[in-house]
Every structure is written in structure tokens, then in C-alpha cells.
Amino acid sequence: MQIDYIKNPAAIVKRFDIPYRSLEEDLHLEGRIIGYMEEGYNYVNWFSGRLVYPKHGCEVGGQEFDKLHQDLIRGAPTIMEVKLKLRRWCYSMGLRIESEEDVTEGIKYLRKLEINLVA
């Protein structure tokens, strides 16, 4: 996978809608999986998770001692592992993922042969 940072500057690979209720209104968190290219690579080789308030565009805070949240931010080498970490965090908070969206803007998926040639 390669990311065109002009079309997708935040390098978001997947988005998740996580609803939660407050007394006044229905609110939603947005889970994001972000792809990273380490120096020396021409393709994404690490993913991490983020939780944001989509209305305000800021990250969920106050999680300094939450090991599951820290683990989500730390990330993993595959999208599936980060998705699992996000599900664990949601379960620990009594939340659930309502929908999942693959982001295609600015992302090019590589075949195995292309990855071997690039590396």
C-alpha cells in the first residue's frame, strides 16, 4: 500500500463510526487507522489507531493510564491487528463499532510482486 499525501494528508486508511449517548444528544466518535511509511520504505509498513471527535476534529484525551488506548495508538504491522485493538478498547468502554469505511482517496494497493521489487 502506498499513500499519496497530497490527496490524503492524514494517511487515513480506514474509518469507524462509534456511537455513544450523552444526556443531551447522540454523539459519535470516529476511529481511524492511519498508515505509516518508515524511512527507507516506499510502502506502508505500520498502522496505528486514533479516536477523534468528528464534530471538533480533536483526539479523545484523558487516556494516559488506559493501556488499551495506548496500545491502539502504538499500533501494529497490519490493519487487522489495529482493528482488533480498536474493538477491544470499544468493548472496555461499553461501546461498539457501528460501521466501517475503507478510505480509497490517495491510496494505492500494491501486489506482492510490486512490494518485493520496491523493497
C-alpha–C-alpha distance, residues 66 and 115, integer Å:
36
Hey, where are the domains in the chain?
2-118
pLDDT at 50: 92
**DSSP 8-state secondary structure symbol assigned to residue 28:** E
pLDDT at 46: 93
Tell me the pLDDT of the chain (119 aa) as tens digits: 888 889 988 899 999 999 987 656 778 899 999 999 888 888 888 999 999 988 877 888 767 778 999 999 999 999 999 999 999 999 998 899 999 999 888 888 877 655 555 55
Please answer whether residues 78 and 47 qualify as being in contact, where contact means their C-beta atoms are separated by less than 8 angstroms.
yes
Query: pTM of the predicted model, to two decimals?
Result: 0.83
**Strand ranges of the sheet holding 58-59, from the earlier edge strand across to the other edge:** 58-59, 46-53, 26-36, 12-21, 99-102
The CA–CA distances, whole Å, from 35 to 52, 57, 67, 83 equal: 16, 18, 21, 13
